[in-house]
Amino acid sequence: MDKLEDFLKYSVLFSYYSELFPKKKRQYLELYLEENSSLSEIAEQYGVTRQAVFDNIKKGVQKLDEYESKLGIFEKEKELKGKLEYLRKNFTMENLEKIIQDFDYTE
């Protein structure tokens, strides 16, 4: 992860998919993505090498991409947010009905 944008993306994805990870990998990702711990700090805390932490985080990030490509929760939320922002600026009952139809919400 080189860019802040990537870091933020994976932090959000982790908030959605964290429970799908085994305990140890989830702990590494939580420390890295949510608590901003360095690889060295995590390695020291768990008594493992920095490389082991790096490998686990790298595999975890790949898994986050895989989960998102299969489930698409993050993309669906972004789409919904965009439609709601549009509705806020252009509210009409017709626009509201269109958004409801787009999401195929039925009573």
Q: Evaluate if residue 68 carries a pLDDT over 90.
A: yes
Question: Quick one: 30 and 43 in the same domain?
Answer: yes
Same domain, 19 and 61: yes
User: Quick count: other Cβ atoms within 10 Å of Cβ 10?
Assistant: 20
Residue 38, pLDDT above cutoff 60: yes
Same-domain pairing of 56 and 29: yes
**CB within 8 Å of 77: residues ≥ 6 apart:** none
Q: Which pLDDT does position 27 carry in this prediction?
A: 97
pTM recorded for the entire structure: 0.78
Q: Which domain holds residue 32?
A: 4-71
Residues 47 and 81 grouped into a single domain: no
What is the structure's pLDDT at 43?
A: 97
Residues 31, 53 within the same domain: yes
Q: Are residues 13 and 43 in the same domain?
A: yes
Domains in the chain, number? 2
Residue pair 35/66 in contact by the 8 Å Cβ criterion: no
Same domain for 12 and 60: yes
> Do 87 and 61 have their domain in common?
no
What is the rounded average pLDDT of the residues 73-85? 91
Q: What is the mean pLDDT of residues 89-106?
A: 82
**Domain co-membership, 66 together with 77:** no
19 shares its domain with 58: yes
| Distance between CA atoms of residues 106 and 55, nearest Å | 45
Whether residues 61 and 83 share a domain: the answer is no
3-state helix, strand, coil in the chain (%, to 5): 80, 0, 20
Q: Are residues 13 and 53 in the same domain?
A: yes
Helix H or strand E segment including 8: helix 4-17
